[in-house]
Structure 1
């Protein structure tokens, strides 16, 4: 029974952290309701090694997850190339619209911090070179 309860807790905490939404508009709405910032990033999950490294080194880091849970809504506009990783037509169209507006030069990764009103606070046009702790301080 204890293992079952622990499993449910772990699953719910993963879903709580993974506050990723299908649209940036939803992410901004959620951020406004929860008084959080939006960490919005463009990635090529199956072809861009700095993108994969950003996700593994920062987004999936336990220290970062702890900070993000209380302070961020995360939105990832992904552009996979392999057919097996293809997104829905709707999600692809949404991501392409966002790229036209926020990433016309096609930079990968491009990491954008938005305030709860959707205004750009800061941009990183490459993989951050700082440690996770230093990056968290910049996000604050």
Structure 2
């Protein structure tokens, strides 16, 4: 009985560790995300989504963003920002205003849309340098990451 208990504890313990490894931080505050992006010298990945109604957004998350390959890639390459436009839940007004402002700035007309950008703040004004955009890509994390890597590689600062 003790052996079974030990095996169960070890199994659940390793699951907890692997769950922690697979967790990503999706920022919702663009200012905080920009500060991290500039500090870590990584571009922002802006994910425009309708989290509770957009089927393609949900599919992109399930097929790509929740996979370990994407988690590893994202931790190494980008600062994640989720800009949500839900229908069944209310965002706080400042977050809603921020998301709509960014949606207009990037001319987002459909979901999911993912923009890769660098940001810079000068004299109180934020400027975004658009590196490229994508959306849902069939083929799982490998296909999506390949496209994202192309966008990032085309914009490496030399």
- Per the TM superposition, whether the score is higher than 0.5 is yes
Structure 1 residues 12 and 130, CA gap change in structure 2 (3 angstroms): closer
2:133 equivalent in structure 1: 123
**8 Å CA contact retained: 2:137, 2:143:** no
Alignment of 1:1-140 (within 5 A): 9=17, 12-13=20-21, 17-82=23-88, 85-104=89-108, 106-115=109-118, 117=120, 118-124=128-134, 126-140=135-149
Structure 1 residues 6 and 133, CA gap change in structure 2 (3 angstroms): same
**8 Å CA contact retained: 1:35, 1:116:** no
CA distance in 2, matches of 1:46, 1:6: 31
Structural RMSD (CA):
2.5
Task: Give unpaired runs (5+ residues) of structure 1.
Answer: none
CA distance in 1, matches of 2:71, 2:20: 14
Higher relative contact order (CA 8 A, sep 6+): 1
Task: Give unpaired runs (5+ residues) of structure 2.
Answer: 1-8, 121-127, 150-158
1:45 Cα deviation (Å)? 0.9
1:55 Cα deviation (Å)? 1.3
Q: Which has the higher strand share?
A: 2
- The number of aligned residues is 134
TM-score (norm 2): 0.71
Structure 1 residues 5 and 94, CA gap change in structure 2 (3 angstroms): same
Structure 1 residues 137 and 115, CA gap change in structure 2 (3 angstroms): farther
1:10 Cα deviation (Å)? 5.0
Higher radius of gyration, 1 or 2: 2
TM-score (norm 1): 0.79
CA distance in 2, matches of 1:103, 1:137: 24
CA distance in 2, matches of 1:79, 1:7: 33
Runs of 4+ in 1 over 3 A off after TM superposition: 1-14, 115-118
